[in-house]
Amino acid sequence: MYHQAHNGLTDLEYKQLCKSWSKILETLRADNAVLINHLSEVLKGTAKRSFIEEAEEFQLSMLDKEETLILLRHELREQLDWLESQPAEKEAPHQYATLKSDMEQMVQEYERMKAAFLAFVAAERV
């Protein structure tokens, strides 16, 4: 059986961590949907070309984040499926360190994008 290093975590602890990461991703996806809806509402109230152009950039960023969140969720599902069965002939689909790094990076990037978007919207209202 392939037992990759889980950074000192037991399989059970690693499963729980993957499930926790999945919940974080779902929370980010829900929050991202709220931001996208907020963007569409804000756009209804303005005709400034410069605002619309920057808003389009945020929209693209939000859609990109959505795709990345879905991909990460899929990778976590693959990892959880592997942890459940751990077939002797099959190595883990993803390395612990890579998943951990990807999760940390996603949360940081998302929070930066969200803060920038909220500041952008607040500046428009002034």
60-81: string of b/e by CB count within 10 Å (b at 16+)? ebbeebeebbeebbebbeebbe
Q: Is residue 44 part of a domain?
A: yes
- pLDDT tens-place string over residues 36-85: 999 999 888 877 888 899 999 999 999 999 999 999 999 999 999 998 88
- pLDDT tens-place string over residues 82-113: 988 887 678 889 999 999 999 999 999 999 99
Range of the domain at 100: 11-125
- DSSP letters spanning 20-48: HHHHHHHHHHHHHHHHHHHHHHHHHT---
| Structure-token pair, residue 116 | 């920038």
Domain total of the chain: 1
Whether 117 and 58 have beta carbons less than 8 Å apart is answered as yes
